[in-house]
Amino acid sequence: MCIFCKIVNKEIPAKVVYEDDKVMAFHDINPQAPIHILIIPKEHIPTVNDLEENHKELIGHIFLVAKKIAKELGVDEKGYRMLVNCNSDGGQEIYHIHFHLFAGKPLGPMICK
């Protein structure tokens, strides 16, 4: 079982900020910004390449969850960044699809170097 499935199953701990029947969100263990949250579906979907038509509602739901978390953490007005990495060139390390939410400082331009 992958590490994020273990977090979903509460087999390993995480600082959870949101949970419902489809989605979970928790603080990244190695934050790259003052606020760095990972939002994941509970379903094990490895990458963006594995998304299907029947995941449309789930992915839309994830963005609404992101909006809710940003508001709760008080960063909705100042702003935040969402990011999804796919496969090795995309920098994906955990093969359970996840949406990064970064906030808490001006993040600057998106630089892919």
Judged by CB under 6 A, does residue 34 bind ligand 5GP? no
Non-local (6+) Cβ contacts of 82 within 8 A are 63, 66, 99, 100, 101, 102
| Active-site choice (36, 96, 98, 100) | 98
- Work out whether 85 is an interface residue with ligand 5GP (CB under 6 A): yes
The reply to whether 100 belongs to the active site is no
**Cα–Cα dist 106/79, whole Å:** 8
28 binds ligand 5GP (CB under 6 A): yes
Residues in the interface with ligand 5GP (CB under 6 A) total 13
**Residue 88, binding choice from Zn ion, ligand 5GP, none, Cβ under 5 to 8 Å by partner class:** none
Length of the chain measured in residues: 113
